Structure 1
Amino acid sequence: MSGETDLIKLYSARILALAADIPHLERLQSPQATVKKRSPLCGSTVTVDLTMRDGRVSEFGQDVKACALGQAAASVVGSAIIGATPAQVETARDQLKAMLKDNGPAPDAPFDGLQVLIPARDYKNRHASILLALDAAVEALAKAQQANCA
C-alpha cells in the first residue's frame, strides 16, 4: 500500500495540471537551433526549437512525447525560458539534476517551478525524462550561439 500511496503523491494534481498545459507546443518555422533528446530508459522524447536575440532566448517551441513528469518539467521550462540567458538555462539544468540526484534545492528563478518535481527524487528511472527539456534547451542554445558567431 505504501508504494501505491507514494505514486499517488508523485503524480500530484499540480504535476498533472502542468502536464496538461504545456506552453510553446508549436514548432518554430525558422529556428536558429533544433535539438531532439530521448531517454533510453523509457523512450520519452523532447524536441526543442529556439532562437536567440541579444544573448537571450527570444522564441521557443517544443514537441514533448514524455510521461507526466517529463511533461510537467517541459511545461515549467516552456513557461520560464523566454528571456532567459544560456547561463540561466544551464544553471537550471545543473540545479535540477542536483535536486533529483543529490537532494539539492530546487532551481533558481525563473525555473523555480521545477520544485514541484522534488517527489520524483526517489524514482531514478524518471530522472532522464524530467531532464529532457532542459538538456535539449542547453544543447540548442549552444548551437544557436555557434550559429550566431559563425
Structure 2
Amino acid sequence: MIDELYSARILKLAANLPHSGRLAAPHGTGERVAKLCGSKAIVDVRLDAEGGVAAFAQDVKACALGQAAAGVLGEAVIGASVHEIEAARDGVTAMLKSGGEGPEGRFEGLRALKLVADYPARHASTMVAIEATLDAMKQALARKSPGDRTSLAGAA
C-alpha cells in the first residue's frame, strides 16, 4: 500500500513546485508547520482588486505528500478567491477524514492525494500549503480597507 501512496504521479507532483520562493512585497504571508513531522510551508500572496490571487509564492519543506499538495495548489491558485481555497481545504479535509471525493473545480487535482486518507500521520503534512495559503489570503484581505477594492492592487 505504501508504494501506491508514493506513486509516480505523486512523486511527479512533488518534484514540480510552481511559484517556488518568496514575494518581495506580499499583501499577506501565512506559515504552517505540521507538528508531527515538521513539514513547513510559508506562502506569500498579492491580491488583485477583486480579492483574488494575483501573485503567489511558496517555500515548502515537506515530505513528498506535502510537496505534491503544494504542487497542485501552485498550478491552480492564480486567480483563486479565498472562498475557492476554503472549499479546496474543506474538500481535502473531507477526503482525508470522512471518505469524501475531494475538491472540485480548479483544485480538483488534489484528489490525487486520496490514498493519504489511510495514513492519518500524513494528513497535516498534506494540508500545510493549503492552510498557509488561506492564512496569507485572510491577512491580505484584512489589510484591505472596507469598500476599497483598489487598496491592494495599487500596492502590487
| TM-score, normalization by structure 2 | 0.91
CA distance in 2, matches of 1:149, 1:136: 22
Q: Does 1:85 align with 2:48?
A: no
Partner of 2:28: 33
CA distance in 2, matches of 1:90, 1:51: 17
Counterpart pick for 2:61 among 43, 59, 65: 65
1:42-80 C-alpha deviation (Å, 9 max, x unpaired) = 000000000111221000000010000000000000011
CA distance in 2, matches of 1:149, 1:107: 31
SS in 1 for 2:105: coil
Shift, 1:18, TM fit: 0.5
Shift, 1:148, TM fit: 1.2
Gaps of 5+ in 2: 147-156
Partner of 1:48: 43
Q: Does 1:23 align with 2:12?
A: no
Give the root-mean-square deviation of aligned CA atoms: 0.8
Q: Work out whether residues 30 and 134 of structure 2, in 8 Å CA contact, stay in contact via their aligned partners in 1.
A: no
Shift, 1:149, TM fit: 2.1
CA distance in 2, matches of 1:38, 1:46: 7
Partner of 1:136: 132
Aligned residue type for 2:20: L
Instruction: Give the total of aligned pairs.
Output: 145
Higher relative contact order (CA 8 A, sep 6+): 2
Aligned residue type for 1:33: G
Gaps of 5+ in 1: 1-5
Identity of aligned residues (%): 47
1:12-51 C-alpha deviation (Å, 9 max, x unpaired) = 0000000001100021000001111000000000000001
Counterpart pick for 1:110 among 92, 106, 109: 106
Shift, 1:109, TM fit: 1.3
Counterpart pick for 1:146 among 122, 142, 149: 142
SS in 1 for 2:60: strand
CA distance in 1, matches of 2:51, 2:58: 20
Q: Does 1:124 align with 2:120?
A: yes
Partner of 1:94: 90
Aligned residue type for 1:60: F
1:108-149 C-alpha deviation (Å, 9 max, x unpaired) = 110000011011110000000001111111111110001112
